[in-house]
Amino acid sequence: MINRRDFLGSMLSTVVGAGALGIPRFSLAASGSDDPYDYILTAEPADISLVPGGVTHALCFDGGYPAPIIRGRQGKTLRILFKNRLNEPTTIHWHGLRIPIEMDGVPFLSQPPIAAGEDFLYEFVPPDAGTFWYHPHVNSIIQLGKGLVGAIIIDEAEAVDFDHEEVLLLKNWHVNDDGSFSEFTSPRNAARMGTPGRWETVNGQHKPTFPVPAGALTRIRLLNVDNTLIYNVAIPDHSAWVIAIDGSPVDQPYPLQVHAMGPGMRLDLALVTPVAGELVRIKNAKGRLMFDLVNLQAEASAFKRQTVPVKPLPANPIPKPDIEHAETVNFVFEWEGAISPADKDGNSDPKFWTINRRAWDKMTADYIPDPVARLVLGKNYIFNLRNNTPNRHPIHLHGFIWKVLNSNKKEIVPFHTDTVLLEKYETVQVAFVADNPGRWMYHCHVIEHMKTGLMGYIEVV
């Protein structure tokens, strides 16, 4: 047996050059593997330019923003040698991937925090294809807020047919006019919808126009990597089809109207780009108004597509929950009221939000509470998710993909997701098979809500 540290040590000496896409790769001669899905990923402080004429002292993956897109293939081993070159501990979580708990990147629950200057090898086989993302799970308001967010895309085992692809990361930055960071949170905001960043960007640019080939069957992967905001994505002047929600293919693609994406959520669209010179305008709907998010401008190309062939993406191998025999577990998400920080100096975070009347507001080695539920490995469960607040909460469970069954507020065509956006006072039922053992984080993805109580974990044994 070789322990992880020795393994890592031997591997460090076999690092070789850079791969395609400008992402450094390494090869592991000793493993006998010739898979090309090996990456080195470094988190480090970096100066980037977001606002005109300003400099932002950000935290970045591989020295810039947007972070490199990590690409793997369904069923193939993916290795990411992560280097923490921040001035503080961190971990990296692979949001939406159903992988073993040891690779889930949550401090204390799944691994010790990776200290400043240390490395950790993440290695797993992604079972599902789709649009996922990665981010730290330590000091999240700051680490995510300052830029540590990126896309991880798992290609289908059998290639699907698209001419072109766009990966679009939606994020509002908490920056002043000179690019310096402004306040990421305040107790007042944390107790409400959270603190919105004022500088809206797509892939780090404000209302950008990106070139795309004309007449191309295009897959658009939208990722809400923001700490706080819900984007209501619409393309009013051009037809687009929803093909996957939060990484999971929909059974039957349908035309996009307005799709609400809470923090952590993703959306895959299929469309045919227009003739050269024309724009696809992707908008953010606020009430009846539509605001520009990003434009795609068609440029002359050899593609000559007319229409989207409306067929579903291949389904992922998500186990089918047995609804008849599932056990129901109730969760109520509530507001605890204006509770001031526990110590008078204001050194601890306030607690505003609860899961089943309990808040978990900090994560340290000596402060791991009991799980909010204990599940039996292999059994079927229905989670009754009740939002007893006037705010919206994107509720996320690590390690599993839920089937959304119904809501007390709207008609649901069942679909799969790892993050359910609960409307105010909405109750949603989701079902899944508890087939992955471990202690799995279960939290609201509005990071200030998570940090002020709205988190817990589910234990599957």
Least distance CB 80 / ligand C2O (angstroms): 16
11 binds ligand C2O (CB under 6 A): no
Partner whose binding site includes residue 137, from ligand C2O, Cu ion, none (CB under 5 to 8 Å by kind): ligand C2O
Least distance CB 96 / ligand C2O (angstroms): 8
Q: What count of Cα atoms within 13 Å lies in the side-chain half-sphere of residue 286?
A: 5
Partner whose binding site includes residue 318, from ligand C2O, Cu ion, none (CB under 5 to 8 Å by kind): none
Partner whose binding site includes residue 444, from ligand C2O, Cu ion, none (CB under 5 to 8 Å by kind): Cu ion
Over its C-alpha atoms, the chain yields an Rg (Å, rounded) of 21
Least distance CB 138 / ligand C2O (angstroms): 11
95 binds ligand C2O (CB under 6 A): yes
Question: b/e map of 108-142 (b: 16 or more CB within 10 Å)?
Answer: bbbbebbeeebbbbbbbbbbbbbbbbbbbbbbbbb
451 binds ligand C2O (CB under 6 A): no
Q: Which uninterrupted H or E stretch holds 99?
A: none
Q: Which uninterrupted H or E stretch holds 315?
A: none
For tokens 């390494």, the residue is 26
SS3 447: helix
Member of 443, 446, 449, 460 binding ligand C2O (CB under 6 A) = 443
Q: How far is CA 350 from CA 138, 334, 337, 347, in A?
A: 18, 15, 10, 9
Going by C-beta distance under 8 Å and a sequence separation of 6 or more, which residues neighbour residue 59?
43, 44, 45, 46, 86, 142, 143, 146, 147, 148
Which residue's CB is nearer to Cu ion, number 72 or number 215? Answer: 72
93 binds ligand C2O (CB under 6 A): yes
398 binds ligand C2O (CB under 6 A): yes
137 binds ligand C2O (CB under 6 A): yes
449 binds ligand C2O (CB under 6 A): no
Which residue's CB is nearer to Cu ion, number 73 or number 445? Answer: 445
Least distance CB 18 / ligand C2O (angstroms): 28
171 binds ligand C2O (CB under 6 A): no
Rounded to a whole number, what is the distance in angstroms from the first to the last CA of the chain? Answer: 26
Contact 180, 49 (CB under 8 A): no
Which residue's CB is nearer to Cu ion, number 173 or number 457? Answer: 457
Member of 262, 264, 399, 456 binding ligand C2O (CB under 6 A) = 264
71 binds ligand C2O (CB under 6 A): no
Give burial (CB, 10 Å; 0-12/13-18/19+) of 160.
Answer: middle
441 binds ligand C2O (CB under 6 A): yes
Q: What are the tokens at 295? A: 């434009």
281 binds ligand C2O (CB under 6 A): no
Residues near ligand C2O, by CB under 6 A: 93, 95, 135, 137, 264, 396, 398, 441, 443, 445
